[in-house]
Structure 1
Amino acid sequence: MRRCFSRFPPFIPMLIPKSIQGFDIDAAVERMLGLSALWWQALGLFVQHFSQWEREWLAARGDDEVERKKVHALRSAAANVGADQLSCAAAVLEELLSLRLAGQQIAVPPSVRWYLQDCFREAWRAASEAKLRESIVPLNQL
């Protein structure tokens, strides 16, 4: 039995940060049944999946339906990983676009999009930096 286990590398714990600017980690982990490793994995997927989001979102402007779908995806993913400010900013734009699609003649104030863009940049940068730190921590610091 001992020989069998000797073939596997030793367990190396993940370094999950206690805080990331713009993220409510505790609430997000709680939504994921208290599994911090699951949240950390979701954060990595958020960084990976939304790496081109801003470019794609800017290209979608002018098509309310496509833009609404892009913003909805971001809002949902941001809420899942605890980026509450980003999720709220996306919800405002999503609602305005939904009203326009329902036939209401309303303008989307440029400040709504600017704020969403700023929130996205800050949240994505903070998340990607946290994931990058994980990949460069020397093993002797684990």
Structure 2
Amino acid sequence: MSGQDVRTEFLYRLPPAVMWEFTRVMDGLSGPDWTRFASEVLSDQTDVRLAERRERRTDWVMNQWESRNGRVGELLDLLERLQLLRARDVILSWRSSMKSSSPPPVARPSLPPPISLSQFDPPPKPRAPPTSTMSTAAG
């Protein structure tokens, strides 16, 4: 995410884990609460009725909103207006973690340790035991 205000971010930029938790909470709402939410997002009541029958109804509604370039701020405002505070808190917890966490430091590639050329020298040959120079005396 960019350094700008998170409310101006597009919905499709929400991290998948946040969106998954949000849709899980929303899919657990009672029928009337969920329908109020979907009716605010979708302009056609036929779409609302079709979405209600889907297994992942909130995911479908959010995909529709994302395709219209919905923003995180609009979602937060809607959730507060409808008093869907648990779902709002999922988004706010992500937002607060974005503000509190500083960007990770840029990792600089470490240089490999210097190579000693002696590593490439062949191993020394074993020394032959010294030969003794015994003189043989003639007798």
TM value normalised by structure 2: 0.26
Bigger radius of gyration among the two: 2
More helix by share: 1
When normalised by structure 1's length, the TM-score is 0.25
